[in-house]
Chains A and B, each alone.
Chain A
């Protein structure tokens, strides 16, 4: 196995580990806002250490310019979105399975693809067949996952709530006769 392929396989496992630890945080009763702070703190430490020690001090690369104020503003806006995204995902994963939750977050890669088509008018250059096909598959997937939640909630609310990973609030709702995940 080549070095590149080995790095790819480890990247696959590391990204899967990210998804699994999201559910682990729920199972270990971690608070979403606290986990979010820890996640961004350590990731920022890694990235800033690499930037300052490897790129600036080690390789003597110039930062400002070429990195402009506009690029910083974009990073700030997108970083804000990311923080809210991970926080809401952490809250939401308490009410549903990690299998489908992690899928939905990964499906969001369609948003930058669609925005690129519209804002940068990439559709004028070419529309690749993958874009409409993946959009249809995403819509189909979202519909099927919605049906999944409806079916499970109607068939066996207590059984679903008693499943490993279901939060205490859901369990109490189910024992009180209400369907979980449908407030």
Chain B
């Protein structure tokens, strides 16, 4: 079950990022990325409403709070990353540090605080994946 959901998340999340490359092809990536993301999040909201409203349920306060934290993390993460690039931090350093570092922090919290169990295969897979992302972001 987990693998099927993650496969869909992997594919849809991957395709959702390809728009940035198309925007680059249009020559708008550096000047109008904020407007692109405004439409990106706006459409995401409409789709989210389309899947939630037919359930005819109310959003609970904790869902507003936790979802709100996620939304702020997502949007401010983008602002901070582009801000760091604007302050002269090179891309080959910024992307591996931000992505690889966040993966390591999440893995640490998962294993130490949430006490999630992984086999030797799991630990090797996590290390392999972090290495893949760091290598990719240096390209």
Contact A11 B84, beta carbon cutoff 8 Å: yes
Instruction: Report the minimum CB–CB distance from A53 to chain B (whole Å).
Output: 11
Q: Chain B residues near A35 (CB, 8 Å)? A: 63, 66-67, 70
**Given A35-B66, A42-B71, A79-B76 contact (CB < 8 Å):** no
Q: Please tell me if the beta carbons of B109 and A20 are within 8 angstroms of each other in the complex.
A: yes
A176 contact set on B, CB distance < 8 A: none
Residues in chain A near residue B49, CB distance under 8 A? 37
Q: How far is the CB of B117 from chain A (nearest CB, A)?
A: 6
A38 in contact with B11 (CB, 8 Å): no
Q: Are A148 and B39 in contact, with the CB atoms below 8 A?
A: no
B57 touches A34 (CB 8 A): yes
Partner of A98 from the list B81, B84, B110, B133 (CB cut-off 8 Å) is: B110
Asked, given contacts A18-B77, A75-B39, whether A107 binds B60 with beta carbons under 8 Å apart, the answer is: no
B35 touches A37 (CB 8 A): no
Chain A residues closer than 8 Å to B131, beta-carbon distance: 137
A22 interface contact, C-beta 8 A: yes
The residues of B with any CB-CB pair to A shorter than 8 Å are 1-6, 8-23, 25-28, 31-32, 34-45, 47-49, 51-52, 55, 57, 59-60, 62-64, 66-77, 79-81, 83-89, 93-94, 97-99, 101-103, 105-107, 109-111, 114-119, 121-122, 124-126, 128-133, 135-139
- 10 new A-B contacts, CB < 8 A, other than A25-B70, A79-B44, are A7-B81, A33-B51, A43-B71, A71-B22, A76-B39, A85-B8, A106-B129, A134-B136, A137-B131, A146-B3
